[in-house]
Amino acid sequence: MTALPHVKLKPGDTIGILGGGQLGRMLATAASRLGLRCQVFSPDPDSPAFDVVLNATCAEYADVEALELFANDVDVITYEFENVPAAAAMILGARRPVLPDRKVLETTQDRLAEKDFVKALGIGTADYADVSSAASLRAAIARIGLPAVLKTRRFGYDGKGQVLLRDEADLDHIWEELETRSAILETFVAFEREISVIVARSADGQVECFDVTENEHRDHILKISRAPAEISDALAEQARGIAEKIANALNYVGVLAVEMFVVPGERGPQLLVNEIAPRVHNSGHWTLDGASISQFEQHIRAIAGWQLGKPIRHAPVTMTNLIGDDIHTYEEWLTVPGATVHLYGKGAPRPGRKMGHVTQVFPPNRPDPEQKP
Size of the site for ligand AMP (CB under 6 A): 13
Q: Applying CB under 6 A, does 126 fall inside the site for ligand AMP?
A: yes
Taking residue 52's Cβ as centre, other Cβ atoms within 10 Å add up to 18
Ranked by CB distance to ligand AMP, the top (closest) residue is: 189
Min dist CB 114 to ligand AMP, Å, is: 10
By beta-carbon proximity to ligand AMP, the closer residue of 16 and 284 is 284
Q: Edge-to-edge strand order for the sheet containing 76-79? A: 55-58, 37-42, 14-18, 76-79
CB-CB contact of 282 with 179 (8 Å): no
d(CA 118, CA 196): 15
Q: Applying CB under 6 A, does 125 fall inside the site for ligand AMP?
A: no
Q: Dihedral through CA 29, CA 34, CA 39, CA 41, nearest 10?
A: -60
Q: Which of 82, 101, 194, 289 binds ligand AMP (CB under 6 A)?
A: 194
Tell me the three state secondary structure of residue 323.
Answer: strand
By beta-carbon proximity to ligand AMP, the closer residue of 103 and 217 is 217
Q: Applying CB under 6 A, does 5 fall inside the site for ligand AMP?
A: no
d(CA 332, CA 289): 19
Residues 271-310 that bind ligand AMP (CB under 6 A): 274-275
In 3D space, the residue among 193, 235, 227 whose CA is nearest the CA of residue 210 turns out to be 227
Min dist CB 116 to ligand AMP, Å, is: 15
Min dist CB 184 to ligand AMP, Å, is: 10
Q: Applying CB under 6 A, does 81 fall inside the site for ligand AMP?
A: no
Q: Which of 10, 220, 328, 366 binds ligand AMP (CB under 6 A)?
A: 220
Q: At what angle do helices 295-304 and 22-33 cross, to 10 degrees?
A: 70
In 3D space, the residue among 230, 195, 218, 229 whose CA is nearest the CA of residue 322 turns out to be 218
Q: Applying CB under 6 A, does 156 fall inside the site for ligand AMP?
A: yes
By beta-carbon proximity to ligand AMP, the closer residue of 182 and 292 is 182
Q: Which of 102, 113, 188, 340 binds ligand AMP (CB under 6 A)?
A: 188
Residue ranges binding ligand AMP (CB under 6 A): 126, 149, 156, 159, 186, 188-189, 194, 217, 220, 259, 274-275
